[in-house]
Structure 1
């Protein structure tokens, strides 16, 4: 009842503002969809299937549970569960992230098998535009690669380092074992006074030298051609691969709706 009253009030406001009927219908539909979305999230966010996906780990990314990884990467994370028109159990995640230097709303769907024992990532959309498998894989890599870097940086910070003494102290108060070690002379000295074994070593030429004087073994190596080459000379196996369509596609071609 509240939703109906809200739609009526919104319609009246827009009509009074001089909007066309089409604009009013579109605004009302968006408002209704948003209300339905909020209700679905509120009523299903703790569903057993949602919890199953949250605590699971994606193949190839077993270092972290899905919920932990997604909540670190996305802003405003939300989960919901629904049954699709094809009678599939769908768990849907939505959250905001940066993509190509702008903020977008990501939608990722997981489908569970009939017994609810296994699942797979079904599809991903950005701003309701369905993405192909390549973009989806790149997104997952960004999500988990970022977490790996953060964990590595944290580990580096937590490495135990020997604390150096603070303030001015005499070295022999810390290094008693060095008292009888002969001190090396300071200031400029001739190198051969320290490295007697190098006296008879022939010095390497300084300055510009021919490369072949050092790398005789490379004389007969055929030099690879420089500059541009035709791509098909390297990727012959791709000649008959059907190219995937580019551009935007309708999200519902990949995504299930309630």
Structure 2
């Protein structure tokens, strides 16, 4: 079979795979809706946990103008450490400690992956807040906590959300890799299972890869809408002219 024929065959196999009876089930692990919910659940939970661990200390450090070196170190480490290596490391540790290897290794690795953009963008956003606005609030009797949560955090929100957007897209892409080491992995399960079948699984690999891409694009669009809704237009335009650390 020529290259053209092989390509047509793969697309046909992917279409046949998508047409299987259980492929659109919300309750069957073979179903795309089931795996999509699993994919998004892991991504969203990891983002929430990472934000809870990162935003408060980053906010306080930026408010007190401390931790500039820590901020740059965190972002550099985040770019240097491969996500797949983290997943393998935490899977090995969970196995040694007899923990649930279907959940904890992937969750901890995803949280670690989301920390750098959340930390650095929170820090950068707060540091970039107009000093005159902070001085005015302090002069009217605001406490330091009130300044952080009523002045600096709202003004830094566009930059923080930009970091959350980058982190979430990284998480959506990385969840698929998790299927290599556990039974989860969301839509990435199809890619791994397809490779395990050899030539017979090419259609499943193609369909799974397209599903991950479509999900990432939808999440990008949804996050853009959330940012547009959550951030006032004037504040968004103001922050668009300022450099952001991602």
The TM-score range, normalised by the shorter chain, is under 0.3
The answer to which structure has the higher helix fraction is 2
Please identify which structure carries the higher strand content: 1
Which structure is richer in relative contact order (CA contacts within 8 A, separation 6 or more)?
Answer: 2
Superposition TM-score, scaled by structure 1 size: 0.25
Give the structure with higher Rg (CA): 1
